[in-house]
Amino acid sequence: MTTAGAEPGHIDVGKVLTDTANVLKASFATVWMIALILFIPVAILGHFAKDSWIIYLIYAIASVVAYLYMAGIVVRVVQDVEADGRVDASVGDLFGSITPKLWPLLILSIVTGILVFVGYLFFIIPGIILTLVLFVAVPAMIAEDLGVFGSMSRSNELTRSNRWRLILLGIVIYLMLVLIAVVILIFTLITPILGDIAGVLIAIVVYPYIAIIVAVTYYELLEARGESKPGPGVATSGGEMPA
Radius of gyration of the chain (CA): 18
Structural contact between residues 204 and 35, judged by C-beta atoms closer than 8 angstroms: yes
The C-alpha atoms of residue 80 and residue 101 are separated, in whole angstroms, by 18
User: Which residues have CB under 8 Å from 198's CB, separation 6+?
Assistant: 183, 184, 187, 188
Residue 122: Cβ within 10 Å count: 9
Structural contact between residues 97 and 84, judged by C-beta atoms closer than 8 angstroms: no
User: Which residues have CB under 8 Å from 202's CB, separation 6+?
Assistant: 180, 183, 184
Structural contact between residues 3 and 15, judged by C-beta atoms closer than 8 angstroms: yes
Report the pLDDT value the prediction gives residue 235, as an integer from 0 to 100: 55
Report the pLDDT value the prediction gives residue 177, as an integer from 0 to 100: 77
Of 175, 171, 195, 192, nearest in space to 183 by CA: 195
Report the pLDDT value the prediction gives residue 215, as an integer from 0 to 100: 94
* SS3 per-residue string spanning 129-146: HHHHHCCCHHHHHHHHCC
The C-alpha atoms of residue 141 and residue 151 are separated, in whole angstroms, by 5
Residuewise pLDDT in 10s, the chain (243 residues): 544 444 667 898 889 989 999 999 999 899 989 999 998 888 888 878 877 888 889 989 999 999 999 999 999 999 999 888 889 899 999 999 999 999 999 999 999 999 999 988 887 888 889 999 999 999 999 999 999 999 999 999 999 989 888 988 888 888 877 877 787 778 777 777 777 777 777 777 788 888 999 999 999 999 998 888 787 766 555 444 544
Structural contact between residues 220 and 19, judged by C-beta atoms closer than 8 angstroms: yes
The C-alpha atoms of residue 32 and residue 60 are separated, in whole angstroms, by 22
Report the pLDDT value the prediction gives residue 243, as an integer from 0 to 100: 41
Structural contact between residues 232 and 79, judged by C-beta atoms closer than 8 angstroms: yes
Report the pLDDT value the prediction gives residue 103, as an integer from 0 to 100: 96
Tell me 51's DSSP state: G
For the entire predicted model, the pTM comes to 0.84
